[in-house]
Amino acid sequence: MSSGNIWKRIFALDASLRKMVNDGVRTPEWLAEGLQALVNQSAVRKFELYLHPKQRKVGGWIGGFEFDKYLHENGLYERTLSLGDLEVKGGLENPETYPEEYRGKAVFLWKTQRGSGVRREVAYLVWHDGRVIVRWYWLVGRWDGDNPVLLASS
């Protein structure tokens, strides 16, 4: 369906809902509750910030290569996100949509890596001055409790 057709459909549905309320078939409260349910549904987290058990301990951390191995061995790597994912692009293009809980953390996108061997690095997102910035971190580094992996919820 083209973008124009979807907007035509949305406006037609909006008109139908308003007519139902105006005609007394439905109450304004019914419409408000239905719209609120849609807003709440879109706010349901489809993603999670994941910490390795070692990161969850006070002062705990894990090395990058060990973390990478853990993600692969435990079937979590396939749920990690990349810079190419639409949800990530959305946060980069529209910073106001970047979740508040991600701000103040380095949110890692393990599917976006560059380099090879010990010179590998992984992309991460940080909130800075009202926008989302992409940075890179060497896998030879340590990941602590402020360095979660962004996973699609299972």
As for how many domains the chain has, the answer is 2
CA distance 149 to 64: 11
Same-domain status, 90 and 112: yes
Q: What is the pLDDT of residues 93-126, one digit of tens each?
A: 888 888 888 998 999 999 999 999 999 999 999 9
CA distance 152 to 34: 27
103: containing domain: 47-152
CA distance 79 to 29: 39
CA distance 132 to 24: 46
Same-domain status, 77 and 147: yes
Same-domain status, 91 and 134: yes
Same-domain status, 84 and 11: no
Q: What is the pLDDT of residues 17-31, one digit of tens each?
A: 999 899 998 899 888
Same-domain status, 80 and 103: yes
pLDDT confidence of residue 1: 46
Same-domain status, 12 and 70: no
CB 107 within 8 A of CB 125: yes
Same-domain status, 14 and 66: no
Same-domain status, 78 and 138: yes
